[in-house]
Every structure is written in structure tokens, then in C-alpha cells.
Amino acid sequence: MAVGNLLKGFGSSASTGGESRVISAEDTQNRLQVLDDFEQTGISWIWATDQEDRLIYFSPSAEDHLKEGLATLLDNPLADLFEIDPDNGDRSDRPLNFQLKARNKIADLPVRLLSERHLPPGKERWWSLSGHPKFDNSGKFLGYRGSAKDVTQAYQRAREDSRLAEYDSLTGLANRHRMNRKLESTLAAYKSAKRSCALLMMDLDKFKQVNDTLGHQAGDDLLRQVADRLKAVIGERGEIARLGGDEFQVMLPDEDDRGTLGDLSDKIIQMLSSPYQIDGKRAIIGASVGVSVAPYDGVEAEEIIHNADLALYAAKNSGRGTYRFYSADLKDSESERAELLDDLREALATDQLELHYQPVVRTRDNHVVGFEALMRWEHPERGSVSPAVFIPAAEESDLINQLGQWALRRACEDAMGWPEKARVAVNVSAKQFANRGFPTIVTQALAESGIDPDRVELELTETVFMGDTDATDATFEALKGLGVRLALDDFGTGYSSLSYLRSAPFDKIKVDKSFVDSCTQKNENSSKIITAIIGLSKALGMEVTVEGVEAFDQLEIVCSKGAEYVQGWIYSKALPQEQILDGIATGGFTIEPDGPETYRRERRSVFRRIGVIHEDHRYEAVMKDLSQTGSLIEGLVGIPKGTGLVLDLGGGQLVVCTVARSKDSTFAVEFETPLVSDGAGGLVTRHRVSPYALAAAGMPLAALPPGNYPLSLGDEGQPKNQPQFMQVTVTRS
């Protein structure tokens, strides 16, 4: 159909006739000739639709751009032929069909030609559409009249420029700019839809060590492998971004189950901690993860990012290689870590630190053959500070070398007061081991104390193999030349390779506590792994110590598997030097095992004020202990067994439970749904009361503050029953 014929159908004027160089508006014939000439240039095309938005005209010159010609376009709904780029954030997010039905004006709208019938294989075509709706004098819609042009090359180039601006050039993941924009738009949309969204912040532990020892090119290769592993774990579940350096972020829409998020975080940590092959060398790093969830931990992007960041630093400061959920009591971990390091320097200078020693016992006669030195810090204001907190902080600074040197010297001095065959084991960090002067430090400690080198055992983890291979081999050779013993600690927990045992001169392997914890469970392979490690060590002529034995059923199993040496609470916790000397003086160099018959994960002792909700009454009580499946509570009198309750643990955490037993003001409850780990030794509910539910009850829509939340919402006007239980005051004894 020619444009002249089409326009004649829409209205015409009589030609003025006569010769003239100027074509007037009334000169229909010449005007149509100009339009025909224009269409043939291919600069732009003319199109039109009918009242049903079906394409009734398109310039014939577009024929060359289509695989099967114009016939495949005409008489089809316009919205079935083109789509708006969903990734183009600068254009309307409404589909083309919506804009047509709304009779909106269309101006330079990039659209993609959809049908494969129109294009050669592997090609895509982008056109720019402009158009106006046409109405008759009565206001009846007649269709669209518009223009179009091919913008494929320019649009693809612009899209590539946009991609480069929004994606990380090294890994191909989204960059910080794209992720922030995506998070902001997602949270804004989810407010009205009352949906949740989780954010995982993570960074790599010991990545700097790879960069420093293997070079920046190796570091880049490692980051690309990390990105591939994250894609494998996350898949289509969410958006992954590299924020820069070794920082990554994952957004998971419609996810608020902290059990699921904890399992996913664990999986990410395990995947990223698996060894990497880089230029024929083996590199091992770790990962820490912080998690926040909208709307519980905030409703704005900035708030959610900040809180996930706090959770990440809490995970790093609690020992690394773990995850942590955001909670309202987390502080600014950067400033807290700086304060901790300052206090630790002062502790080292003022002799606040001390070593405690845990016995290593020979199982056949319960004779103590040695001790492991464990660092303890009693802060004048903080109280007892866990090594899992201050050791990782020290490892990020040069302070770990000073701490390690002090510990080695003190342990050698203390061991001189023990029987002459008793050994002392001292933990050595990978950073200490990588210090070129480390053999000299060991030499000085031996010389100053006068201890026999064979009595000193240096405990190393597989992370010492991450550095330069030649330097590592040289350090091993120097240490063995001094005559000290070497032990491979935490064997089997990471990705321990038999090549370590072949290439390094270890005298001992230590079986990690995690295998002992589960060795009594029926469906676990831990006891078989213990058997394998013990058999391997004997075949290689090495000693083996099984750590973390606490109960007689565990001791029976590890002894049946061939364990000759055991370290754990069933014999003794770590003791200060004074108690060690007192025990030696009274003939206590033999320790009889003493502990529970069977091992079970004990409930955590707590003193935590909570709310107890029964029917439409809320009581105040104190939680005295807590496990995944139940709790002991004090503060209410007269609660019968079998009573259904809801515990308010604060922060929107409500736990449905049933009273299992009751006596006086103390009662035990069993949870309907088990709690899940928060990644740092604590327990939390899988789900929380949504702020959107609170908003529906008339409360302001905001992140949940610490506090109390009703069991049922929106029933303030309903009559209440009389309280059935008496509340008593509980104080900390």
C-alpha cells in the first residue's frame, strides 16, 4: 500500500494547479510525491495502526530490513511485534501494550523486533518508534500515526556502554552502582507489595595474602573463580555484585527465612573456601558473610546495606569463616575493632595476657604426655575476651607476630617447670609462619628458656601452604633443623590434602573437634573419618591426637578406632600454670576421665528477659536456658503442662511453644518450630513479625526496634479475659 493512497483515505484537498516551485499544503499530489521520495531514502519510515492497534501500514522501504518482507508485520497487533528493553532503566517500565491502550504519546522509544520470521538467524533488530494517537471530531480513536527508524547499531553500542558502566569488567558481575540502583528499586516496589528481600554482604579472608605472595594477576584470576562459584551457588535466585576489591554482595528477593539464609551462607563459605588452582599453585582463602533482611532490619536501601555491613564485620570479628545476621545490638565494628587492638596492645605491654594449658592424655593409662598452650585475656572492663575475637583482629595487623612471639617464649619458660618429658604445643598462625624471621624467633625462645627442642610442638593449619612454596619449604627445613616437632592442626575440617603430609615433615596430626561432636550420631560418617585419619597417621609413622572429647560415649568410640592420645573436657579444661604445678606436685600427672555418659549439645545458659503471651495477656518472665527445641523459663506461677504459649524474644521474634513441665514459678517449653543458628553461637527464629503487619494494625511502617509485639494485631477493641497466671519478679542471683 503506497503512502499516497493511505493518506488519501485519511483526507485530501484539491490541487491548486499551475506551475510553482513551492509546494503548498493544498498541493496533495506533489506532497505525496515528496513523502514517497522520503520513504525511499530509508532515513525514516511511516507507520499506522487501526482502532485495534493492528499495524495497517509500514513504509515499503523497510522491506530490505526484514527476512520475509512487510507481509509478516502487517495486520498484526503492534504490541505482538515489538517489546521495550526491560533492562533499560531510563525508559518507562510499562510494556508497550500498556502504553498503546493508555493512548499515550510515543517519542523515540527503542523497541526490539520480536518475531524470528522477520530476522536472519542470530540477529536482533532495534527500531525507534514515535507516534501520536489520532481521534476524529467526536473523539473516537482511529489508530496511531507515527514514524520509525532502525537504531540497531547505535542502540547496541549504547547498551554496551551502559553495560560497561554497570558491570564489573573483571568478573562480569554487577558493580556497586548497578546493585545499589537495583536494590533501591526493588525495595521501593516491595514496600507496596509487602514483600521481603535479603541482602548478603561478604568479603574474602586472606585474599590480600594471595595478592602479596602470588601477585596481582593471580589475585585477579582468583576473583574470577570466586565469581564463578558464587554464580553456581546463587543461580537465578538473586543478583550478585562485586563492589570492588574482595567485597561481594548478593540480593535475594522474597527471602526472609533465616534458616534458609543461614544454610545458603554456610554453603557460600564452604564453596569459597575450597582450594583454588592458580598458575599451577594452590591457594586457599576463606569468606565471611553478613546478612540483613528488609523490612525487618530496615526498609531503605541505605539502611539495609549498612546493617548487612555491620553483620559482616561482626562475623569477621567473631573468628571469620562464618556468617552473622544483623541485630540491633551490633555496633560499628570498625571502631570497635580499632578499640580492641588498642586494648590488646596495652594488654601485651602490661602483662594482662596469660597462657592456660590443656592436658593431652595417653588413653591406655590416662597419663598426661603434654599440654597445649591457649591464650587467655581478662580485660579490666570487657571481662574475659575470647581468643576467637582478639586473635583474628590481631592477624589483620602486625600484632599477631608480637603475640605469637610472647606466647612461644612464655610457653617454653612455663614448660621448664614440668616433668622433663612433657611437651608443650603452641599454635602458630599462617602470618607468623610466613615471617622470614620466624625460625630465628623459635631459636631465641629455645635458647632463652633452655628447653629441649623435642619438647616444643608447633601447631600449624593448612593455611601455611598458601604462601610461596619455596619459602614454605625453607621454613619447614629450618624448623626441623632446630629439632622442634610439627603438628598439623584441624585436620579434615578444611580441604586437607594428602600432599601436605607428603611434602611437610609433620610429627603429628590433630583430629578436629567437629568430628568428635557428631561421631556418636547414627547417620554421620564422622566415626569413619576418625578411623581413616588415625589409620593414615599410623601408616605414615605420625602420632595423632583427637581433640574435643567431652563424654564417655565419645571416648569409647575414639578409643575403639585406635586413638592413643586424647585432648578434651572429659580429662580437663585448659588450666593456668599454677594449677598445673599444683597437680604435678600432688602426683596429678595422671588424670582420670570425668564427664557425662552421653554427649549432647547442651542448652545455652542465659539470663534474658522475654515476653510470654497467653491468649490476650502478656507477661514478663526470664529465660534461664535455651536450645534449638526448647527453653527453661522462670517468672510465672500456675502454668499447667500442655498450655500453649507464645514467647516474645524481641525484635519481632515470636515462638509458638507448649509447656512440657512446670514447678512453682519455673517451667520448661518445647518449641513448635526449632530455632536456627545466627552463625555466631546464638539462636534466632526463622521468621519475624513483619513491619507491614504492624503497619496494618496502625503502627508506623519502620524497621522493627527492640521491643514487644502483640500475638494478634488489630483487636484492641475486643474484650479481654482475666489473666490466668501470677507473675513474679526474677532477679539475677
Tens-digit pLDDT profile for residues 335-356? 677 788 889 999 998 889 999 9
Q: Where in the chain is the domain with CATH 3.30.450.20?
A: 42-158
Tens-digit pLDDT profile for residues 160-202? 766 667 889 899 999 998 899 999 999 988 887 888 999 999 9
Tens-digit pLDDT profile for residues 372-393? 999 999 888 778 888 877 887 7
Q: 202: closest CA among 297, 286, 296? A: 286
φ, ψ for residue 269, nearest 5 deg: -60, -45
Please give the CATH superfamily to which domain 336-585 belongs.
EAL domain (3.20.20.450)
Range with the poorest average pLDDT among 69-73, 202-206, 251-255, 704-708: 704-708
Q: Where in the chain is the domain with CATH 3.20.20.450?
A: 336-585
**259 burial type by CB count under 10 A (0-12 exposed, 13-18 middle, 19+ buried):** middle
Q: How large is the average pLDDT for residues 627-649?
A: 91
Q: Where in the chain is the domain with CATH 3.30.70.270?
A: 167-330
Q: How large is the average pLDDT for residues 235-262?
A: 93
Q: How large is the average pLDDT for residues 635-652?
A: 90
Q: What is the pLDDT of residue 370?
A: 94
Q: Is the pLDDT of residue 719 over 70?
A: no
Q: Which CATH architecture has domain 604-727?
A: Beta Barrel (2.40)
Q: Is the pLDDT of residue 729 over 80?
A: yes
Tens-digit pLDDT profile for residues 305-316? 999 999 998 888
**668 burial type by CB count under 10 A (0-12 exposed, 13-18 middle, 19+ buried):** middle
Percent of the chain predicted with pLDDT > 90: 40
Q: How large is the average pLDDT for residues 445-473?
A: 86
Q: What is the pLDDT of residue 7?
A: 43
Distance CA 39, CA 33 (A): 10
Cα torsion 577, 578, 579, 583: sign: positive
pLDDT band at residue 583 under the 50/70/90 scheme: confident
Q: What is the pLDDT of residue 618?
A: 86
Q: How large is the average pLDDT for residues 90-117?
A: 76
Distance between terminal CA atoms of the chain?
Answer: 95
Distance CA 81, CA 118 (A): 10
DSSP code string of 583-594: HHHTT-SB----
Q: Is residue 421 within 8 Å of residue 370, measured between CB atoms?
A: no
Q: What is the pLDDT of residue 478?
A: 93
Q: Which helix (H) or strand (E) holds 96?
A: helix 96-101
φ, ψ for residue 357, nearest 5 deg: -130, 125
Q: What is the pLDDT of residue 20?
A: 54
Q: Is the pLDDT of residue 596 over 50?
A: yes
What helix, strand, coil percent values describe the chain, rounded to 5? 35, 25, 35
Distance CA 288, CA 265 (A): 9
Fold classified for 167-330: Alpha-Beta Plaits (3.30.70)
pLDDT band at residue 422 under the 50/70/90 scheme: very high
Q: What is the pLDDT of residue 229?
A: 95
φ, ψ for residue 459, nearest 5 deg: -95, 120
Distance CA 664, CA 670 (A): 18
Q: How large is the average pLDDT for residues 31-41?
A: 81
Using a CB cutoff of 8 Å and minimum separation of 24, what contacts does 572-575 make?
572/358, 572/359, 573/358, 574/356, 574/357, 574/358, 574/372, 574/374, 574/376, 575/356, 575/357, 575/358, 575/359
Q: Is residue 39 within 8 Å of residue 60, measured between CB atoms?
A: yes
Beta-bridge mates of residue 663: 666
pLDDT band at residue 11 under the 50/70/90 scheme: very low
CA angle 87, 58, 90 (to 5 degrees): 20
List the beta strands (DSSP E) in 50-195: 55-58, 82-84, 106-113, 126-135, 141-150
Q: Where in the chain is the domain with CATH 2.40.10?
A: 604-727
Tens-digit pLDDT profile for residues 563-578? 999 999 999 999 999 9
Torsion of CA 709, 715, 718, 722, to 10 degrees: -20
Cis peptide before 295 (omega within 30 of 0): yes
Percent of the chain predicted with pLDDT > 70: 86
pLDDT band at residue 418 under the 50/70/90 scheme: very high
Q: What is the pLDDT of residue 56?
A: 93
Q: Is residue 126 within 8 Å of residue 112, measured between CB atoms?
A: yes
**Yes or no: domain 42-158 corresponds to CATH 3.30.450.20:** yes
Between 12 and 483, the more confident residue is 483
The whole-chain average pLDDT of the chain stands at 84
